[in-house]
Structure 1
Amino acid sequence: MAVISGVGVSSGRAVGPVVRMPDPVAEPAAGSTVPDGADVAAEGARIAAAAEQVRADLERRAAAAHGDGAAVLEATALMAADPALVTAAQKKVDDGTAPARAVWEAAAEVQAMLESLGGYMAERARDVADVRDRIVAVLDGRPAPGVPERDEPFVLVAHDLAPADTATLNPATCLALVTEGGGPTSHTAILARALGLPAVVAAPGILSVDEGTVVLVDGGVGTVEPDPAADVVEAVRAAAARVLMFDGTGRTADGHRVQLLANVGDAKGAAAAAEAGAEGVGLFRTEFCFLDRAEEPTVQEQVEQYRAVLEPFAGKKVVVRTLDAGADKPLPFLTDATEANPALGVRGYRTAVRHPEVLDHQLEAIARAATTSGTEVWVMAPMISTAAEAADFVALANGHGLATAGVMVEVPAVALTADALMANVAFASIGTNDLTQYAMAADRLLGDLAELSDGWQPAVLRLVHLTAEAGLQANRPVGVCGEAAADPALAVVLTGLGVTSLSMTARAIPEVAATLLSVTKAECQRLAELALAAPDAKAARAAVHAELPPLA
């Protein structure tokens, strides 16, 4: 078979036999009804019991998972516990619909509502389908859908993976992930990177590969090669057996320093990143303190939770991002769920216009946590659009005693005016996920646009270069904290573009460090020029990989 091309979302190479995800739970027959003489109330109660069983199972899995996986499982368990789906299904049972069919129809209504909202809420529709399938399986007395269990290592192939499935993968047996659907910011991609599994998404034709076929998955270039040559298999397996170590200092072969930092979202993630030897934190997502709450947490609550994240990095830098609410992270007390296009709406720093007290309280809490943590705390605002907004945020942060204040570069307008921006900030951090979304006019949650939603896009790299150059001229550090930093080859390009730090999932640091050590600063710059000159993301990736022997 010919090599199958998709979008590489988690670097690394792996070889193993294909194992297909089992067929999804079949849709119960339309028009199926409660059997004559059955107790309708009891049939409705079965739905509630099944939902409770699903919730409990997901929570058990969450307790055994880590980091992003645990967070996804907990969110799915919350959806299983939401009475809205159960209540809607029970009403249909009262009208005579069979329980399994009632759950299916009620879930379809919830999915349609979420999809109509777009953005993050539309992405949650997939979670509803996952919960639906699990409830129906319990009602029908069948095993819950999920990843097949195998004693021998394998490559998992699927149309797409539900968050609960991806979160429970065992890296000891699952060598790599390949999906026909999904995109660079799907749950599959995010959790594959967190687990350190090579992964390729948006790979048309992968489902035509027979189960048991040995394939070579290259998550860096985004290819799947069926029946690779024996010498290639041996080389890939030998490379996988090597253990890469990070000595705590990111640098190129000629000693050019590039800080290698971790992205963290809670205390558990911070502890894991510190144990992995990260030089600090380049992105502390503070949303964990606010999500799933009907009202703003108190300042003291925030202080305690922030301190738990900061303390593992005493003596090191931690860059704290203020609340990035809106779009894919709606909050009932802060954002408007009825916005027609939330990705272009009131999100991030923009929420402070209507609710300045929320940002003020958060900055107070960050400053208080910083004073007792022994950490060098930097603070930055997301979704900044103008140099004037940046200046206003920096002044507000400085007023709380936070001396090192900067901004996220996610909006192309800010990158294009980066020279003016740098006059107002102590640093800038580029969020490549949103910068790519806005530069390419491609919803980063839409799998059909996966090829556009790629940090290798030359247009995106030009915006990174503009920002980094402005930082160099103003003597301001410019980092990258988007998913692009976790790609070893792209990390080399970003270094060549002038980026001074890279922040990523902690598991990616050793490979990124080793790749940087294999090239000089001049080679980084030459490879960056190749990427900038390419006509598209695929060509840019191929050109750089061809010149980077350690990844060949």
Structure 2
Amino acid sequence: MSLFTGVGVSSGRASGPVARVAEALPEPAATPAPADAAAEARRIRPAAEAVANRLFERAGVVGGEAKAVLETTAAMALDPALLSQAEQLVTNNALPAPRAVHEAANGFADALRNAGGYLAERVRDIHDVRDRVIAELLGATPPGVPDLDRPSVLLARDLAPADTADLDPRLVLALVTEEGGPTSHTAILARALGIPAVVAARGILAAAPVVGVLVDGDTGSVETSGEPVRTRAAERGRGVDWNGAGGTADGHAVSIVANVGSAADARLAVEAGAQGVGLFRTEFCYLGADEEPDVRTQRAAYAEVLSPFEGRPVVVRTLDAGADKPLSFLDMGTEPNPALGVRGLRVCFERPGVLDRQLEAIAGAEQDSGAKVSVMAPMVATADEAAWFADRVRAAGLGRAGVMIEVPAAALTADEVLDAVDFVSVGTNDLAQYVFAADRMSGALAGLNDPWQPALLRLVALIGQAGHRLGKPVGVCGEAASDPLLAGVLAGLGVSSLSMGAAAVPAVGSALAAHPLVAYQKAAEEAKNAPNAARAREAAFATLQ
């Protein structure tokens, strides 16, 4: 057997036969020039429509998030700007249709990648659409997950949302990818399905023919074999015995709450038993809007998300937009480094009216829904910024103001930041990215963005200690909170609430209730003093055994 090491992003062990996800076709040639450029250009739109129709057909037999993913990908395939650009490359540059689609899509993908943040996360989707349309034009097998006739481990370079939206979890033992990172689609999907997953397993696709694998989502190891291995599924249904009360075995309270971005997410969170919402992303109300939504429109949209949590706490994050999530009505222009530019709360310093109108809408939605609303701002760097935001929140009639800690400066001055607000929530995804100067979308840097990195845990410890000194809550709403083992370590570091995708709620709640706080404090001490992420995970696991 051969051993590969990546980043474990969803816990558990599983083994079984391999099912390879078909990769994209080779880059299409730019020659020969079409004999009839107009006729060649006319081939593009029907090919895109065929791809979109198949995706819509798949969307028609599923529901929830899977339906939304497939419909969104289908809409991308029909994007008029993309199709028009490809057609022009055929007629103006005499390119064959497959090459024209390739170049047009790559231009769109480059623009999104340069924008960074949320939009950079859509690059994989554009490539997925590109490859499907090219395969249609060439009459070839499209990339994606093969039809599974037995339980298998999926092995891929990376996974696009449309690849996996309608996977049958009874047939997927685990996921292994050569690229991707802790916040990639593969990681999020695996945690939602409750199956082991390892990303950034460099070199595994070039290995000798792989027949069977053993996947360890805790350590990040993948053992490959050229012979069949025993099929063993990871234990599913973790957390079904959770009683819904967030806390440790000795009664220390830790709220188990959910991340939501839509009314559908809110309903799923309630069904999963979440005690409230730790992160309500409000961007859904703005993305794609040519004009700023008025207060009445925002109020209605927010109330729909808040209503399932009547009487329960909900933390609403104000607009996290800017150069990395460009909105046309903000007219932000371009920046050389959007990830370090005007984003989050920084957008509002020159446009306070945008924030004030959103706060007015949130206050109205609180009245309409009966939820207990707190509001926090993203991308806060200093105590002065936190105080500026808190003043505006209170002026809007909202009771609790907080901020996200995603910038190392805010973590290092956590006492002063907490003195200005009522609570903080740690966004571990961005905090890791900024601490290690490592793009969280880069598979090559996935190890640096591992939430078990001791440097990141030490920053969380500083924030937790500040919260304890000032008697104010410290939450975590990054992907780190959805790891059942890491959740206990975070509690040991002083975190008082953990917010995650709805699917992870029962497993985290159950795991947290397995040990007393003192055990988690010991595990946290061992983890943050470890020399690397892998040793930190091992130390915590050994301490809690």
Q: Specify if TM > 0.5.
A: yes
Alignment of 1:81-160 (within 5 A): 81-95=78-92, 96-160=94-158
TM-score (norm: length of structure 1):
0.92
For the structure 1 residues 63 and 401, does the alpha-carbon distance in structure 2 shift closer, same or farther, using more than 3 Å as the test?
A: farther
- Percent identity over paired residues: 56
Task: Report the secondary structure of 2:328's partner residue.
Answer: coil
Residues 19 and 212 in structure 1, CA contact (< 8 A), matched pair in contact too: no
For the structure 1 residues 493 and 367, does the alpha-carbon distance in structure 2 shift closer, same or farther, using more than 3 Å as the test?
A: same
Structure 1 match to 2:405 = 409
Structure 1 residue 541 displacement after superposition: 1.2
Structure 1 residue 227 displacement after superposition: 5.7
Q: Deviations over 1:106-162 (max 9, x none)?
A: 333334444444555444333222111111122223343221111211110011122
Structure 2 match to 1:195 = 193
Residues 294 and 331 in structure 1, CA contact (< 8 A), matched pair in contact too: yes
Distance 2:19 2:383 in 1: 51
Distance 2:23 2:387 in 1: 54
Structure 2 match to 1:168 = 166
Query: Is 2:395 the counterpart of 1:399?
Result: yes
Structure 1 residue 208 displacement after superposition: 4.5
Structure 1 match to 2:366 = 370
Q: Deviations over 1:444-481 (max 9, x none)?
A: 11111111111111111111111111111111111111
Instruction: Choose 540-549 or 281-290, whichever is displaced more.
Output: 540-549
Q: Deviations over 1:486-513 (max 9, x none)?
A: 0111111100001111011111122212
Distance 1:116 1:430 in 2: 26
Aligned counterpart in structure 2 of residue 269 of structure 1, from 265, 279, 283: 265
Structure 2 match to 1:19 = 19
Residues 282 and 316 in structure 2, CA contact (< 8 A), matched pair in contact too: yes
Q: Deviations over 1:47-99 (max 9, x none)?
A: 11222332343344455555654554444334322222212221232243322
Amino acid at match of 1:366: I
Distance 1:233 1:252 in 2: 36
Task: Report the secondary structure of 2:425's partner residue.
Answer: strand
Residues 442 and 452 in structure 1, CA contact (< 8 A), matched pair in contact too: yes
Task: Report the secondary structure of 2:278's partner residue.
Answer: strand
Distance 2:366 2:238 in 1: 39
Structure 1 residue 193 displacement after superposition: 2.5
Aligned counterpart in structure 2 of residue 338 of structure 1, from 317, 334, 338: 334
Amino acid at match of 2:194: G
For the structure 1 residues 176 and 512, does the alpha-carbon distance in structure 2 shift closer, same or farther, using more than 3 Å as the test?
A: same
Distance 2:165 2:528 in 1: 35
Amino acid at match of 1:455: P
Residues 485 and 504 in structure 1, CA contact (< 8 A), matched pair in contact too: yes
Query: Is 2:47 the counterpart of 1:54?
Result: no
Structure 1 residue 427 displacement after superposition: 1.0
Distance 1:510 1:296 in 2: 37
Alignment of 1:175-324 (within 5 A): 175-208=173-206, 213-226=211-224, 237=233, 239-240=235-236, 244-324=240-320
Q: Which runs of 5+ in 1 are unaligned?
A: none
Amino acid at match of 1:390: A
Residues 115 and 125 in structure 1, CA contact (< 8 A), matched pair in contact too: yes
Instruction: Choose 508-517 or 76-85, whichever is displaced more.
Output: 76-85
Structure 1 residue 332 displacement after superposition: 2.0
For the structure 1 residues 519 and 227, does the alpha-carbon distance in structure 2 shift closer, same or farther, using more than 3 Å as the test?
A: farther
Structure 1 residue 26 displacement after superposition: 3.0
Structure 2 match to 1:446 = 442
Structure 1 match to 2:422 = 426
Structure 2 match to 1:34 = 34
Residues 117 and 337 in structure 1, CA contact (< 8 A), matched pair in contact too: no
Amino acid at match of 2:143: P
Task: Report the secondary structure of 1:18's partner residue.
Answer: strand
RMSD between superposed Cα atoms in Å: 2.4
Distance 1:331 1:367 in 2: 23
Residues 16 and 153 in structure 2, CA contact (< 8 A), matched pair in contact too: yes
Residues 520 and 544 in structure 2, CA contact (< 8 A), matched pair in contact too: no
Structure 1 residue 168 displacement after superposition: 3.3
Distance 1:392 1:243 in 2: 41
Structure 2 match to 1:45 = 42
Residues 246 and 509 in structure 1, CA contact (< 8 A), matched pair in contact too: no
Instruction: Choose 153-162 or 189-198, whichever is displaced more.
Output: 189-198
Q: Deviations over 1:178-218 (max 9, x none)?
A: 10111112222223323333211100232245667332222
For the structure 1 residues 98 and 355, does the alpha-carbon distance in structure 2 shift closer, same or farther, using more than 3 Å as the test?
A: same
Query: Is 2:431 the counterpart of 1:470?
Result: no
Query: Is 2:474 the counterpart of 1:485?
Result: no
Amino acid at match of 2:399: A
TM-score (norm: length of structure 2):
0.93
For the structure 1 residues 51 and 168, does the alpha-carbon distance in structure 2 shift closer, same or farther, using more than 3 Å as the test?
A: same
Instruction: Choose 439-448 or 158-167, whichever is displaced more.
Output: 158-167
Amino acid at match of 1:81: L
Residues 48 and 77 in structure 2, CA contact (< 8 A), matched pair in contact too: yes
Structure 1 residue 163 displacement after superposition: 2.8
Distance 2:474 2:414 in 1: 11
Amino acid at match of 2:89: K
Instruction: Choose 121-130 or 205-214, whichever is displaced more.
Output: 205-214
